[in-house]
């Protein structure tokens, strides 16, 4: 059962809708398997079914539904699948960074974290792709992350949990595991599921599609903001490919219903940052966290943390 969250009662987007869904996809290709050491030794790189088979169909599906999303991909994909990344961008979607090679972010040393961000930003820049969003692999950040993300030029970040808002000039758009397909479908997440009061066994794809569509149906009525994460590599399996198509179909219909703003994270973050926005989202809004302050940040001595958050 959902409790009332911090964003309920707010209005979202240029049309002041009662709810918002930030639509995102995580992971691409063999990066996470390389990181975990489960990629078969000697197997050819650059030919993963999530890219060659799933991605073209997914992009068509999104086009057909009139949906745009954020694709958080490991930056190593700039080298393995440059054409695929350029195609994602060409079709109007946002590319965000999901680590260099899906390294568990919360476990990185400060040096490794800084190097991974810098290497990733360079790889995207080489392709001519501007990256403004970041989602930490594994969902967790380090204590140093806020400073390092800002230093790397990241404008918005989507970790697991925490509060929606602008802190130290980075917009945080968190996700809840409840709206992550991998969390429900994969055996690897059973410990996390149990710790959150859910059953240990994974859900069947059909059951998950039903559960996600019910959650999405409830969003425009209950109001508030949610972040959905789907994984292309899970859609290699036909059963979840069909499930994901059902979920995206529901999102497309909801988006057309005029009560939910379905949006990539970067556009949502820009909207949240607007200092003139008058939707009552930010009772402790700090005007200095807006774009004007970003321009002036180099002119001023470093100031204490300013937060613009949505209060509970
Ligand atoms: Zn991931």
Distance from Cα 292 to the centre of ligand 1, integer Å: 33
CATH code, domain carrying 217: 3.20.20.370
Instruction: Measure the CA–CA gap between 194 and 187, rounded to whole angstroms.
Output: 12
State how many domains the chain has: 1
Distance from Cα 255 to the centre of ligand 1, integer Å: 26
186 to each of 23, 74, 191, 205, 228, how far by Cα in Å? Answer: 20, 20, 11, 10, 16
Distance from Cα 275 to the centre of ligand 1, integer Å: 32
**Mean pLDDT of the chain, nearest integer:** 89
- Residue carrying structure tokens 């903001």: 225
Return the pLDDT at 276.
Answer: 66
Q: Which domain holds residue 33?
A: 19-309
| pLDDT tens digit sequence for 237-270 | 999 999 999 999 999 999 999 999 999 999 999 9
Residue 102 lies in a domain: yes
Distance from Cα 231 to the centre of ligand 1, integer Å: 8
Residues in the chain: 312
Distance from Cα 27 to the centre of ligand 1, integer Å: 5
Distance from Cα 18 to the centre of ligand 1, integer Å: 29
Residue 156, SS3 per DSSP: strand
Distance from Cα 296 to the centre of ligand 1, integer Å: 34
What global pTM score does this model have? 0.88
Residue 7 lies in a domain: no
Distance from Cα 34 to the centre of ligand 1, integer Å: 13
Residue 8 lies in a domain: no
Distance from Cα 285 to the centre of ligand 1, integer Å: 31
Residue 4 lies in a domain: no
| pLDDT tens digit sequence for 182-201 | 999 999 999 999 999 999 99
Determine the number of helices (DSSP H) and then strands (DSSP E) in the chain.
13, 10
Q: What per-residue string of b and e applies to 234-243 under the rule 16 or more CB within 10 Å gives b? A: bbeeeebbeb
Distance from Cα 33 to the centre of ligand 1, integer Å: 11
């Amino acid at each position: 059962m959902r409790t009332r969250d911090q964003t309920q009662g707010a209005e979202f987007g240029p049309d002041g809708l009662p709810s918002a869904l930030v639509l995102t996809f995580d992971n691409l290709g063999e990066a996470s398997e390389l990181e975990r050491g489960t990629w078969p030794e000697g197997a050819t790189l650059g030919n993963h079914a999530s890219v060659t088979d799933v991605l073209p169909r997914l992009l068509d599906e999104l086009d057909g539904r009139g949906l745009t999303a954020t694709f958080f991909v490991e930056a190593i994909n700039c080298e393995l699948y440059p054409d695929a990344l350029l195609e994602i961008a060409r079709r109007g979607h946002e590319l965000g960074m999901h680590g260099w090679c899906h390294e568990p972010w919360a476990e990185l040393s400060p040096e490794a974290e800084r190097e991974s961000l810098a290497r990733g930003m360079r790889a995207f820049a080489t392709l001519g792709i501007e990256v403004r969003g970041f989602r930490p692999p594994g969902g967790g950040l380090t204590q140093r992350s806020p400073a390092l993300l800002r230093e790397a030029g990241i404008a918005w970040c989507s970790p697991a949990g925490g509060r929606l808002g602008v802190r130290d000039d980075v917009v945080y758009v968190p996700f809840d595991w409840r709206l992550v397909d991998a969390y429900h479908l994969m055996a690897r997440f059973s410990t996390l599921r149990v710790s959150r009061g859910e059953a240990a066994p994974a859900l069947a794809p059909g059951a998950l599609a039903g559960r996600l569509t019910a959650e999405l149906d409830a969003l425009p009525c209950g109001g508030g903001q949610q972040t959905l994460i789907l994984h292309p590599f899970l859609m290699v399996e036909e059963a979840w490919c069909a499930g994901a198509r059902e979920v995206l179909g529901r999102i497309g219909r909801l988006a057309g219903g005029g009560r939910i703003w379905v949006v990539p994270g970067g556009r949502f973050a820009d909207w949240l940052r607007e200092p003139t926005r008058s939707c009552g989202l930010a009772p402790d809004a700090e005007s200095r966290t807006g774009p004007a302050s970003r321009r002036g940040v180099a002119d001023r001595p470093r100031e204490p943390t300013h937060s613009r958050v949505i209060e509970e």
